[in-house]
Amino acid sequence: LPLCNQRTSDLLHCKGSLIWTQSVTQTPSLLLNSGHYAQMDCRHNLHGSYYHMYWFQQLPGQGLRLIVHMLPYKPPDFGNFSQDKYSASKTVSESGSFTVITLCAQKGSRGCMIAGDYSTVHCAGFQAVFGGGTKLTVLGPTVTVFEPSEKECQNGKTKENNKTLLCVASDFYPDHVSVSWQINGVDIKDGIATDHRAKYNGSHYRITSRLRSAEKLWRCRLPLHRNLRTCAPTPRNCSAAVMVSTEAPA
């Protein structure tokens, strides 16, 4: 087997004479709510007889732990892992899939993958040809936008008529969330104050960002989730609309 070196990120990067990591691809990231299932796909275009496939878990700051070994048309070997929680399928040598059957947020639920069980899941072929890892987020953010205060809306002393909007993303895990703002579809940097890092309350994370601007249209974007969500509260006297979206990172 080749040597593996732990780097500053949560992923293991392997090197050796038989390693072609660019030829192994897998689902890069998933964000799913409790009660859903998480399916991760892995495929390769390596030459030769690469029939074996392995899936590993990797907790933050830790090494790899084997979950399942797969061969085409044979039952997956989960070892000490529970098949109540996981399933796997491999019908051809070039691809396979691994599924967490049910995602849940609270510990102690039989048949659930607990939030925090995984940061990254890796697939690998025989001779330890690794894919890039799937970053699995169990809990997506609850996004709330607070409109300008009534006092701020009624203040007509300043010609600039600046208003402050607050975007709060809460109840998510783990903490790989970033927040950016747009005005008229253009990313902006001025007038923004965002928490340096998400705050952990013992089970979930929370992050806030503030925008102070004279514009009438703001866009707060969290590049995390695949589905678009909008929030357009009725402002008091501000003639402002707020649109919030959560998107998968590029």
CATH number, domain with residue 218: 2.60.40.10
Confirm whether pTM is higher than 0.75: no
Which residue type occupies 86? Answer: Y
Looking at the structure, tell me whether residues 156 and 228 fall in a common domain.
yes
């996004």: which residue's tokens?
143
pLDDT tens, residue by residue, 10-53: 332 222 223 344 477 887 777 666 667 788 888 888 766 778 88
Looking at the structure, tell me whether residues 124 and 162 fall in a common domain.
no
Tokens, residue 143: 């996004």
> Distance (Å, rounded) from C-alpha 61 to C-alpha 11?
9
pLDDT tens, residue by residue, 64-85: 788 888 888 889 998 888 777 8
Among candidate residues 86, 115, 137, the one where a domain is terminated: 137
